[in-house]
Protein backbone atom coordinates (compact mmCIF):
# COMPACT_ATOMS: atom_id res chain seq x y z
CA UNK A 1 0.00 0.00 0.00
CA UNK A 2 1.36 3.41 -0.98
CA UNK A 3 1.88 5.80 1.87
CA UNK A 4 0.57 9.30 2.23
CA UNK A 5 3.00 11.60 0.41
CA UNK A 6 4.22 13.21 3.64
CA UNK A 7 5.15 9.96 5.41
CA UNK A 8 8.09 7.64 5.14
CA UNK A 9 7.15 4.04 4.44
CA UNK A 10 6.63 1.84 7.48
CA UNK A 11 8.46 -1.43 7.99
CA UNK A 12 6.59 -3.65 10.43
CA UNK A 13 8.86 -6.39 11.73
CA UNK A 14 7.33 -9.33 13.58
CA UNK A 15 10.08 -11.33 15.31
CA UNK A 16 10.40 -14.15 17.81
CA UNK A 17 11.34 -17.76 18.24
CA UNK A 18 10.13 -20.37 15.77
CA UNK A 19 6.60 -21.34 16.78
CA UNK A 20 5.94 -18.10 18.68
CA UNK A 21 3.13 -16.82 16.43
CA UNK A 22 5.03 -14.49 14.08
CA UNK A 23 3.43 -15.73 10.87
CA UNK A 24 -0.07 -15.66 12.33
CA UNK A 25 0.49 -12.09 13.55
CA UNK A 26 2.00 -10.99 10.23
CA UNK A 27 -0.93 -12.42 8.28
CA UNK A 28 -3.41 -10.81 10.67
CA UNK A 29 -1.77 -7.37 10.33
CA UNK A 30 -1.51 -7.72 6.53
CA UNK A 31 -5.25 -8.39 6.28
CA UNK A 32 -6.21 -5.70 8.79
CA UNK A 33 -4.13 -2.94 7.19
CA UNK A 34 -4.03 -4.19 3.56
CA UNK A 35 -0.23 -4.29 3.50
CA UNK A 36 2.09 -6.66 1.66
CA UNK A 37 3.52 -9.41 3.83
CA UNK A 38 6.76 -11.40 3.55
CA UNK A 39 7.28 -14.49 5.73
CA UNK A 40 10.83 -15.79 6.22
CA UNK A 41 9.80 -19.47 6.18
CA UNK A 42 7.71 -19.07 3.04
CA UNK A 43 10.63 -17.50 1.19
CA UNK A 44 13.47 -19.78 2.35
CA UNK A 45 12.06 -23.21 3.24
CA UNK A 46 11.27 -24.20 -0.36
CA UNK A 47 14.96 -24.14 -1.22
CA UNK A 48 16.58 -24.76 2.17
CA UNK A 49 15.05 -28.19 2.83
CA UNK A 50 15.88 -29.65 -0.63
CA UNK A 51 19.37 -28.14 -0.47
CA UNK A 52 19.94 -29.77 2.92
CA UNK A 53 18.62 -33.13 1.74
CA UNK A 54 20.75 -33.12 -1.40
CA UNK A 55 24.07 -31.72 -0.14
CA UNK A 56 24.19 -31.56 3.66
CA UNK A 57 22.24 -34.57 4.92
CA UNK A 58 25.21 -35.80 7.00
CA UNK A 59 25.39 -32.44 8.80
CA UNK A 60 23.35 -31.03 11.62
CA UNK A 61 20.33 -29.11 10.28
CA UNK A 62 20.96 -26.34 12.81
CA UNK A 63 24.57 -26.01 11.62
CA UNK A 64 23.40 -25.98 8.02
CA UNK A 65 20.95 -23.17 8.83
CA UNK A 66 23.70 -21.16 10.53
CA UNK A 67 25.89 -21.55 7.45
CA UNK A 68 23.13 -20.32 5.10
CA UNK A 69 21.61 -17.75 7.48
CA UNK A 70 23.21 -14.69 5.92
CA UNK A 71 22.11 -15.62 2.38
CA UNK A 72 18.56 -16.29 3.55
CA UNK A 73 18.28 -12.95 5.33
CA UNK A 74 19.82 -11.10 2.35
CA UNK A 75 17.06 -12.56 0.17
CA UNK A 76 14.39 -11.41 2.61
CA UNK A 77 15.79 -7.90 3.05
CA UNK A 78 16.23 -7.45 -0.71
CA UNK A 79 12.51 -8.15 -1.22
CA UNK A 80 11.47 -5.94 1.69
CA UNK A 81 13.72 -3.02 0.72
CA UNK A 82 12.56 -3.15 -2.89
CA UNK A 83 9.06 -2.41 -1.56
CA UNK A 84 10.31 0.29 0.83
CA UNK A 85 12.14 2.04 -2.03
CA UNK A 86 8.83 2.09 -3.94
CA UNK A 87 7.37 3.92 -0.90
CA UNK A 88 5.32 0.87 0.09
CA UNK A 89 4.88 0.04 3.72
CA UNK A 90 5.40 -3.69 4.33
CA UNK A 91 5.28 -6.39 7.00
CA UNK A 92 8.00 -9.02 7.44
CA UNK A 93 8.08 -11.89 9.92
CA UNK A 94 11.32 -13.69 10.76
CA UNK A 95 13.08 -14.98 13.89
CA UNK A 96 15.78 -12.25 13.82
CA UNK A 97 17.30 -13.72 16.97
CA UNK A 98 20.72 -12.07 16.55
CA UNK A 99 19.40 -8.82 15.14
CA UNK A 100 17.24 -8.09 18.18
CA UNK A 101 20.42 -7.60 20.19
CA UNK A 102 22.01 -5.11 17.77
CA UNK A 103 21.41 -1.52 18.91
CA UNK A 104 21.93 -0.07 15.42
CA UNK A 105 20.42 -2.85 13.32
CA UNK A 106 17.83 -0.72 11.48
CA UNK A 107 20.28 2.15 11.02
CA UNK A 108 22.66 -0.30 9.32
CA UNK A 109 19.81 -1.63 7.17
CA UNK A 110 18.89 1.90 6.05
CA UNK A 111 22.51 2.69 5.24
CA UNK A 112 23.09 -0.58 3.43
CA UNK A 113 20.05 -0.12 1.20
CA UNK A 114 20.36 3.69 0.99
CA UNK A 115 16.77 4.33 1.95
CA UNK A 116 14.76 5.69 4.85
CA UNK A 117 11.71 4.30 6.61
CA UNK A 118 10.07 4.10 10.01
CA UNK A 119 10.16 0.83 11.92
CA UNK A 120 7.71 -0.83 14.26
CA UNK A 121 9.05 -4.05 15.72
CA UNK A 122 6.81 -6.56 17.46
CA UNK A 123 8.68 -9.31 19.28
CA UNK A 124 6.81 -12.34 20.57
CA UNK A 125 7.76 -13.98 23.82
CA UNK A 126 6.41 -17.44 24.56
CA UNK A 127 7.03 -19.35 27.80
CA UNK A 128 9.48 -22.23 27.50
CA UNK A 129 7.00 -25.09 28.03
CA UNK A 130 4.35 -23.52 25.80
CA UNK A 131 6.83 -23.00 22.97
CA UNK A 132 8.06 -26.58 23.26
CA UNK A 133 4.50 -27.90 22.99
CA UNK A 134 3.88 -25.72 19.92
CA UNK A 135 6.94 -27.12 18.17
CA UNK A 136 5.95 -30.68 19.06
CA UNK A 137 2.44 -30.05 17.75
CA UNK A 138 3.56 -28.54 14.44
CA UNK A 139 5.80 -31.61 13.94
CA UNK A 140 8.24 -30.06 11.44
CA UNK A 141 11.45 -31.87 10.53
CA UNK A 142 13.40 -28.62 11.00
CA UNK A 143 12.39 -28.55 14.70
CA UNK A 144 13.69 -32.03 15.52
CA UNK A 145 17.17 -30.95 16.66
CA UNK A 146 15.74 -28.04 18.63
CA UNK A 147 13.50 -30.40 20.58
CA UNK A 148 16.28 -32.95 21.15
CA UNK A 149 18.40 -30.35 22.97
CA UNK A 150 15.53 -28.17 24.15
CA UNK A 151 17.09 -26.44 27.16
CA UNK A 152 20.16 -25.32 25.24
CA UNK A 153 18.10 -24.26 22.24
CA UNK A 154 15.65 -22.22 24.32
CA UNK A 155 18.45 -20.46 26.20
CA UNK A 156 19.83 -19.31 22.84
CA UNK A 157 16.61 -17.53 21.95
CA UNK A 158 16.89 -13.82 22.67
CA UNK A 159 13.71 -12.13 23.90
CA UNK A 160 15.57 -8.92 24.76
CA UNK A 161 15.00 -5.97 22.48
CA UNK A 162 17.99 -3.69 22.00
CA UNK A 163 17.56 -2.67 18.37
CA UNK A 164 16.74 0.82 17.16
CA UNK A 165 13.12 0.58 16.02
CA UNK A 166 10.94 3.68 16.23
CA UNK A 167 8.48 1.58 18.24
CA UNK A 168 9.35 -1.77 19.84
CA UNK A 169 6.70 -3.89 21.50
CA UNK A 170 7.17 -7.15 23.39
CA UNK A 171 3.99 -9.25 23.22
CA UNK A 172 2.81 -12.65 24.27
CA UNK A 173 0.38 -14.39 21.90
CA UNK A 174 -2.25 -14.25 24.64
CA UNK A 175 -2.25 -10.43 24.32
CA UNK A 176 -3.44 -10.60 20.71
CA UNK A 177 -1.90 -8.97 17.67
CA UNK A 178 -3.08 -5.38 17.82
CA UNK A 179 -3.15 -2.99 20.72
CA UNK A 180 -3.72 0.77 20.82
CA UNK A 181 -0.02 1.61 20.31
CA UNK A 182 0.30 -0.67 17.29
CA UNK A 183 -2.90 0.60 15.67
CA UNK A 184 -2.06 4.25 16.26
CA UNK A 185 1.48 3.86 14.89
CA UNK A 186 0.32 2.04 11.75
CA UNK A 187 -2.52 4.47 11.07
CA UNK A 188 -0.23 7.50 11.10
CA UNK A 189 1.63 5.92 8.17
CA UNK A 190 -1.34 4.91 6.02
For 40-78, b/e burial (b = at least 16 CB within 10 A) is bbebbeeebeeebeeebeeeebbebbeebeeebbeebbe
Q: Are 38 and 76 in contact, with CB atoms under 8 Å apart?
A: yes
29 band by pLDDT with thresholds 50, 70 and 90 = very high
Helices 40-51 + 61-85 axis angle, to 10: 140
Global pTM value: 0.86
Distance CA(13)–CA(37), nearest Å, equals 10
Residues 38-83 pLDDT 10s: 999 899 888 888 888 888 778 887 788 788 888 999 999 999 999 9
**Domains in the chain, please, with CATH?**
10-187 (3.40.50.300)
Bridge partners (DSSP) listed for residue 122: 14, 169
The separation between the first and the last C-alpha atoms of the chain, rounded to the nearest angstrom, is: 8
Amino acid sequence: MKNATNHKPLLIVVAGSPGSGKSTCGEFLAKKYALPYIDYDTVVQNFMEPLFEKHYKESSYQQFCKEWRSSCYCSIWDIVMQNIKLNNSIIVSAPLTKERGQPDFFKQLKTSYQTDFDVMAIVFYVAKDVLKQRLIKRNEKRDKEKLEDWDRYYEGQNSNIFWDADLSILLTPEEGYVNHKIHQFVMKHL
